[in-house]
Chain A
Amino acid sequence: MNIQFKKGVLEICVLSVLARKDCYGYELVHEISKMIDISEGTIYPLLRRLKDEGLVTTYLQESGEGPSRKYYRLTETGRTKEREQREEWMQFAASVNTLLEGVLHAAE
């Protein structure tokens, strides 16, 4: 799949994973790379950008073993953004699907 495609949807994926629960970096990367084949390293720069934009905040939390982990949490702005983007995505995806199916029917 086209790499630009994936990059475009990465933000909404990250936001919606975080909307369900706070995650540490590795966990988030794991959740997303399970579903989408993408260089795991590109998620960290994205997280930094989301933080700079005030959509997520971070906090440190002790883990059972090893050093404490940096968790990411959505801010209120982040939540609003997530809802907006999800809605936009749903509409967009639905229209694209309709179009694609239309083309298929025409070809038949």
Chain B
Amino acid sequence: MQQNEEDYLKTLKDRLTGYVSREDLDDILSDYAEHFSIGISEGRSEDELCQALGSPDGVAREIRASYLVKRAEQSCGARNIWSAVMATLGLGLFNLAVVLIPFVILIALLTLIFVAGMLLIILGPILLLVSILHLLGVAVAMPWPIPPAGIVKSLVLSVVGVFLIVAALGLGKFFYRVGIRYLKWNIRIIRGGEGPNRDEEPCLSTAAIPRDGAENLELQVQLRAGDMSVRDGTSDKNLVELATHGTACARPSVSASADGKGKRIRIRGRHTIDRCWWSDESSPAMEIRITRDVPTALEVTNKAGRTTLSLGKLNLTGLRIRNGAGETYIDLAGYAGPGFGAEIRNGVGHMVIRVPKEYQLRIHVHRGIGDTDVHGLLVEGDTYVTRPERSDAPQITLFVKQGVGSLSLKAV
């Protein structure tokens, strides 16, 4: 039987409707539609593509199964606090003391404060009314010995009531948040699970610095500890984009100043690892993307952590890299700009540098302990060079200081 795309997608849709969310369904169908459109553009027939994909029933069954697993995982990833308590309880007797008792005591305390507040809020005005009536000469039982002072006292009671309610709500919110985090941590410890929690990324923050007609860029990036990656590729209107996530919960500080047609940007990650003891994220990470079009002088400092710099597609005019401890990858392959000078210092850790061989390269290496592995470069004293075919090829000069750890230089 001949099959076609339309029938295939329709069957898939029928078999999935009701099992997966509207959004996911659209997403899944668009994946397969893309598959068909590319396949057809490469000259395969719809029937052939359907055959290769396998029966839509089978595919739908697979998707439904993985969807169920995902839902089950999410529900034990603490959607709400109660199901989290139950889930945690189910995980071990240990938690009876660790989670349930503090949880119940906390709820009782908060309820007590709330109830006291409510009582005062109700009682205050009643006492106030009674005091006023008494003053006016109405014969009622007087709660306070002196009526005018009674009015003041009643008012104070009402205000205290309002304060208590506000405090109870605030505390409730705070403990709710701490509680959720604590429960998640608990579940992870008991399950022996690993990895960050998937249903949220609590410390993700992003920022973009618009281009605003800048004709050159001086970018300084500093990270105290964590993984840093710098590469090309921003949306057209942005000069620099950054995203950070991880333990720190601290947003990086970004300062930008313009000087004529040039722009100076400083990005400092204020990550410290001890900041959030309850955090469930892995090590902090910062990802920076830079536009390909604007000439850029880049300065990167990372005290500790892995530094990955894919700079080959940037229009670099200068480069300074300082890495304290950690692996450093610097990829300049594919660079097509006017040439530049660079200073690269690494303390402890392996370092890999890839450079474009069409350029006249001069790489001065000063190094401590570790192997040096060189590909595609000639040795001239303590300098590695290339002799490109074009004698007028632009120059790149690197000053490399590597402390402890292997160094790999490759001209590609």
B70 at the interface (CB under 8 A from A): yes
Q: Which A residue's beta carbon lies closest to that of B42?
A: A26
One digit per residue, 1 when the CB lies within 8 angstroms of any chain B CB and 0 when it does not, for chain A 14-46 equals 000000000011100100010000011110110
Q: Is the CB of B196 within 8 A of A70?
A: no
Do the beta carbons of B285 and A76 come within 8 Å of each other? Answer: yes
Contact A25 B195 (CB under 8 A): no
CB distance A33 to B52 under 8 Å? Answer: yes
Q: Is A77 among interface residues, defined by CB-CB distance under 8 A?
A: yes
A24 to B41, CA, bound (A): 15
B61 to chain A: closest residue by CB: A45
A42 touches B59 (CB 8 A): yes
Least Cβ–Cβ distance between A64 and chain B, in angstroms: 10
Check A41–B41 contact: CB distance below 8 A. Answer: no
Query: Once the chains are docked, how many angstroms separate the CA of A40 from the CA of B282?
Result: 34
User: Quick check: which of B26-34, B119-127, B325-333 contacts chain A, the rest being far away?
Assistant: B26-34
Is the beta-carbon distance between A42 and B62 smaller than 8 angstroms? yes
User: Nearest-CB distance from A42 to chain B (Å)?
Assistant: 6
Q: Does B53 contact A (CB under 8 A)?
A: yes
- With A26-B38, A69-B38 already in contact, the answer to whether A53 and B54 are too (CB < 8 A) is no
- Kindly supply a per-residue 1/0 record for chain B positions 45-63, scoring 1 wherever the CB is within 8 Å of any chain A CB and 0 otherwise: 0000000111110110011
Count the B residues whose beta carbon is within 8 Å of the partner chain — how many?
27
A41 x B34 contact (CB < 8 A): no
Q: What's the minimum C-beta distance from A50 to chain B, rounded to whole angstroms?
A: 10
Q: Is A83 an interface residue (CB 8 A)?
A: no
Nearest Cβ on chain A to B391's Cβ, whole angstroms:
34
Interface of A is mostly: helix
Q: Which residues of A contact B63 (CB under 8 A)?
A: 45, 48
In the bound assembly, the distance between CA atoms of A49 and B62 in angstroms comes to: 11
A-B contact count (CB 8 A): 70
Residues in B with CB closer than 8 Å to A47 are 31
Point out the residues of chain A lying under 8 angstroms from B38, CB to CB: 24, 26, 66, 69
Contact yes or no, B198 A41, CB < 8 A: no
Chain A residues within 8 Å of B39, by CB: 26
Cβ 8 A contact of B37, one of A39, A48, A67 = A67
A52 at the interface (CB under 8 A from B): yes
In the bound complex, residues from chain A placing their C-beta under 8 Å from that of B285 are 76
* In the complex, chain A residues whose CB is within 8 Å of the CB of B70: 49, 52
Q: How far, in Å, is B49 (CB) from chain A's closest CB?
A: 8
Cross-chain contact A54 with B28 (CB below 8 angstroms):
no
Measured in the bound complex, the distance between the Cα atoms of B35 and A39 in whole Å is 13
A53–B227 CB distance below 8 A: no
Give residues 66-95 of A contacting B (CB, 8 Å). Answer: 66-67, 69-70, 76-77
Query: A54-B196, A54-B198, A77-B195 known; A44 and B31 CB under 8 Å?
Result: yes
- A65 within 8 Å of B by Cβ? yes
Across the interface, do A66 and B37 meet the contact criterion of CB distance under 8 Å?
Answer: yes
Contact call A25/B66, Cβ cutoff below 8 A: no
Given contacts A53-B198, A69-B38, contact A41 B66 (CB under 8 A): no
Chain A residues within 8 Å of B58, by CB: 39, 41-42
Expressed in whole angstroms, the minimum distance between the Cβ of B354 and any Cβ of chain A is 16
How far is B289's CA from A50's CA once the two chains are assembled, in angstroms?
Answer: 24
The distance in angstroms between the C-alpha atoms of A44 and B53, with both chains bound, is: 10
A24-B38, A48-B63, A52-B70 known; A41+B28 contact, CB < 8 A: no
> Once the chains bind, are A54 and B195 in contact (CB under 8 Å)?
yes
| B26 CB to nearest A CB, Å | 13
Residues of B within 8 A of A54 (CB): 195-196, 198
Given the complex of chains A and B, what is the CA–CA distance between A69 and B34 in angstroms?
7
Q: How far apart are A35's CB and chain B's nearest CB, in angstroms?
A: 14
The 9 closest A-B pairs by CB, nearest first: A39-B54, A41-B53, A41-B59, A26-B38, A41-B54, A45-B62, A40-B52, A45-B63, A40-B53
Interface residues of B (CB under 8 A from A): 28, 30-32, 34-35, 37-39, 41, 52-56, 58-59, 62-63, 66, 70, 195-196, 198, 227, 282, 285
A→B interface (CB under 8 Å): 24-26, 29, 33, 39-42, 44-45, 47-49, 52-54, 65-67, 69-70, 76-77
